[in-house]
Amino acid sequence: MFAKLFLLIALGVVLQQHAAEAASASPVEKKKIVCYYGTWATYRQGNGKHNTEDIDPRLCTHLMYSFFGIHPNGSIRLTDPWLDEEEDGGLGNIKRFNNLKLINPKLKTIAAVGGWNEGSEKFAIVANDPQLRKTFVNESIALLLKYGFDGLDMDWEYPKKRNELGYDDKANFVSWCKELKEAFIPYNFSLSAAVSATEDSVKISYDVPGVSKYLDFINIMAYDLNGPWDGVTGFNAALLPGQNDVTAVQKQLNVEAIVNYWLEAGAPASKLILGVPFYGHSFTLTNASVHGLGAPITGPGPAGPYSGEGGTINYIELCEKQLTEPWTAVWDDVQKVPYTYINQTWVSYDNIQSITLKTELALKKQLGGIMVWSIESDDFRGLCGPKYALLQTINKTLAKAQTKQTIISMVNNYFKQINDFFSEAFSF
Ligand SMILES: *[C@@H]1O[C@H](CO)[C@@H](O)[C@H](O)[C@H]1NC(C)=O
Ligand SMILES: *[C@@H]1O[C@H](CO)[C@@H](O)[C@H](O)[C@H]1NC(C)=O
Ligand SMILES: *[C@@H]1O[C@H](CO)[C@@H](O)[C@H](O)[C@H]1NC(C)=O
Ligand SMILES: *[C@@H]1O[C@H](CO)[C@@H](O)[C@H](O)[C@H]1NC(C)=O
Ligand SMILES: *[C@@H]1O[C@H](CO)[C@@H](O)[C@H](O)[C@H]1NC(C)=O
Ligand SMILES: *[C@@H]1O[C@H](CO)[C@@H](O)[C@H](O)[C@H]1NC(C)=O
C-alpha cells in the first residue's frame, strides 16, 4: 500500500520536474505574427491584385502598413497620398487598413516608415540632428493618433550603409529610438524596427543592446541572403548552412546563424521576431542542364507576372505557374529549403515545409514570434491549396506549440496538487 503510494508520488515528482522544465523553457505566451503589407499590391493585375479587404485580420497579431516616407526636415510623408487617403476620390487605404481592427479587436496596426526604396540618407540626416529627431517624434505621434495606429516601425535600410554622410548612424539610431520610446509611453504606442540580418551587416548598423532597450520588438529581415547578384544559384533564406559554405561570410548566410548571432549580440529572445520571405529569387541558368546549387547563371530570372520585378517571384505567382507548367521541385535536405526549375529558370523560395521548420526554430529559441514579408505574396486567393497557405502554416505551427504548452502546464499543475495533497496528508 505505502510502496504503491510512494511510487505514485515519486512519479508525480519526476513528471512535475519534467513538466516544469518544459514549461519554463517555453512559457505559455502569445507569440507575435508580424505581417508586413505592401500597399502597392492593389495596383497589380489579375490574381495578383490585393486589396486591403483581402487581408485576413485573424491570421496576424500585428499588421504593418508599408510604407510611410521621411523628409530630410524630419517630417513624415505619405508615399502615395491617393492610395493612402480618401480625399479627392482616393482609395483611403489607411482608414480601411485600421478598420480591420473591427473584425479582430486584438489586432495591432503599425505604421512602417522607410523600406528599401526610401534609401538611407534622409534617415541619417534626421538621426544626426536632435531638433530634426524631435520633429520626427512629434510628427509620428500626430500620425499615429490621426489614423488610429497602435505603433511605429522604423525601417531604416540601413544605419551606416547606403549613405556616405559619415555620421555616427549607429549611436544616432539609439538616441532616436530612446526619444521615440519615451515620447510614446503616455500613448501606449509600440516601437519596433525592421533590421538587417547577418553578423557583418548588424555590426555596421546597430548597437544591439542599445536599440534592444527601447524597441518593443525587432523584426529580423532574414532573407535576400543569396540572389542573382552572386552570379550562381543560391538560397534566398536557407535555414541551415550548406556544404559549399566554407568562408566565415558564407557561414553567416542562413537563418540559424542569424538568430544565434542576434542572441549572442545581446538582444532578448522575447523581442526577436524572425522574418520569413513569402517571395523567392529567380535566376537564369547558363545551361539548363546544370541546375544544382551554385550553378552558373547569366543573370536574374524573369519577373513574376504580377509583381513585375526581374529576379523576384512571389509565392502566389510561382504556385500558380506550377499548376500548369512542369517545374521540377527539389527539397534540399541539408539546408532545409526547396528550389524549383524549368528550362533556364531556377527559383529559390519558401514553402509550407520550410516555413514550418523556421517557425519551429523560432519556438525552440524562444523568440517573440514570426515576421512575414509580405502577406500579399501569399496564395491569398487559395489558387493552389487553402487560402493564405503560408500564413496558415505559421498560425498552426504556433497554435500547436501553444496547445502543447498549455497541456504541459495543466499536467504540471495536476501533479503538483497531488503532491501537495499527499505531502500534507502524510507529512513526508
Ligand atoms: C518638411 O518638408 C516637406 C516637403 O518639403 C514639407 O511639406 C513639410 O511641411 C516640412 N516640414 C517641416 C516641419 O518643416
Ligand atoms: C507637435 O508640435 C506642435 C507644434 O509645436 C504642437 O502643437 C503639437 O501639440 C505637437 N504634437 C505632439 C503630439 O506633441
Ligand atoms: C498597451 O499596449 C499593449 C501592447 O500593445 C497592450 O497589450 C495593452 O493592453 C495596452 N494597454 C493599454 C492601457 O491600452
Ligand atoms: C550543358 O551541360 C551539359 C551537362 O553537363 C553538357 O553536356 C553540355 O555540353 C552543356 N552545354 C553547353 C552549351 O555548354
Ligand atoms: C520550356 O521549354 C519548352 C521547350 O522549348 C517550351 O515548350 C516551354 O514552353 C518552356 N516552358 C517554360 C515555362 O519556359
Ligand atoms: C490562428 O488563427 C485563429 C483563427 O483564425 C486564431 O483564433 C488564433 O489566435 C491564431 N493563432 C495564433 C497562434 O495566432
| Residue 138 CB less than 6 A away from ligand 2 | yes
The minimum-distance atom of ligand 3 relative to the CA of 151 is 5
The DSSP call for residue 30 is P
More confident residue, 18 or 174: 174
The answer to whether residue 60 scores a pLDDT higher than 70 is yes
Pocket of ligand 3 (CB under 6 A): 108, 150, 188, 190
Tell me the pLDDT band of 27, cut-offs 50, 70 and 90.
Answer: very low
Tell me the pLDDT band of 420, cut-offs 50, 70 and 90.
Answer: confident
Backbone phi, psi, residue 338, to 5°: -95, 160
Rounded CA separation 262/250 (Å): 17
Residue 30: exposure state from Cβ atoms within 10 A (0-12, 13-18, ≥19): exposed
The minimum-distance atom of ligand 3 relative to the CA of 188 is 1
State the distance from the centre of ligand 3 to the C-alpha of 188, rounded, in angstroms.
Answer: 6
Q: Whose CA is nearest to atom 14 of ligand 6?
A: 395
Tell me the pLDDT band of 11, cut-offs 50, 70 and 90.
Answer: low
Give the pLDDT confidence score for residue 425 in this predicted structure.
Answer: 79
Q: Does domain 32-277+350-414 have CATH number 3.20.20.80?
A: yes
The minimum-distance atom of ligand 4 relative to the CA of 289 is 2
Q: Whose CA is nearest to atom 10 of ligand 6?
A: 395
More confident residue, 8 or 123: 123
| Residue 423 CB less than 6 A away from ligand 5 | no
Comparing C-alpha atoms, which of 134, 169, 140, 142 is closest to residue 153? Answer: 140
State the distance from the centre of ligand 5 to the C-alpha of 328, rounded, in angstroms.
Answer: 13
Give the pLDDT confidence score for residue 244 in this predicted structure.
Answer: 87
- The tens digit of pLDDT for each residue in 304-341 reads 999 999 999 999 999 999 999 999 999 999 999 999 99
Rounded CA separation 314/282 (Å): 10
Residues 6+ apart with CB under 8 A from 331: 338, 353
Ordered alpha helix ranges (H), 128-198: 130-147, 169-184
Give the pLDDT confidence score for residue 26 in this predicted structure.
Answer: 45
Q: Are 197 and 221 spatial neighbours (Cβ–Cβ below 8 Å)?
A: yes
More confident residue, 133 or 424: 133
One-letter amino acid for residue 33 of the chain: I
| Residue 325 CB less than 6 A away from ligand 5 | yes
- Residue given cell 478598420 in the structure block: 99
- Residue given cell 549572442 in the structure block: 264
State the distance from the centre of ligand 3 to the C-alpha of 269, rounded, in angstroms.
Answer: 20
Q: Whose CA is nearest to atom 14 of ligand 1?
A: 73
The answer to whether residue 21 scores a pLDDT higher than 60 is no
- E strand or H helix at 154: strand 151-155
More confident residue, 420 or 273: 273
More confident residue, 406 or 396: 396
Rounded CA separation 389/320 (Å): 13
State the distance from the centre of ligand 1 to the C-alpha of 75, rounded, in angstroms.
Answer: 6
Comparing C-alpha atoms, which of 288, 312, 121 is closest to residue 223? Answer: 312
Rounded CA separation 267/137 (Å): 24
The minimum-distance atom of ligand 3 relative to the CA of 108 is 5
Pocket test of ligand 1: the residue of 68, 70, 75 to mutate, having most ligand atoms within 8 Å of its CB, is 75
Q: Are 190 and 218 spatial neighbours (Cβ–Cβ below 8 Å)?
A: no
* Annotated catalytic residue, options 157, 256, 317, 320: 157
Domain residue spans in the chain?
32-277+350-414
Rounded CA separation 185/43 (Å): 37
| Residue 142 CB less than 6 A away from ligand 2 | yes
Is 86 marked active-site?
A: no
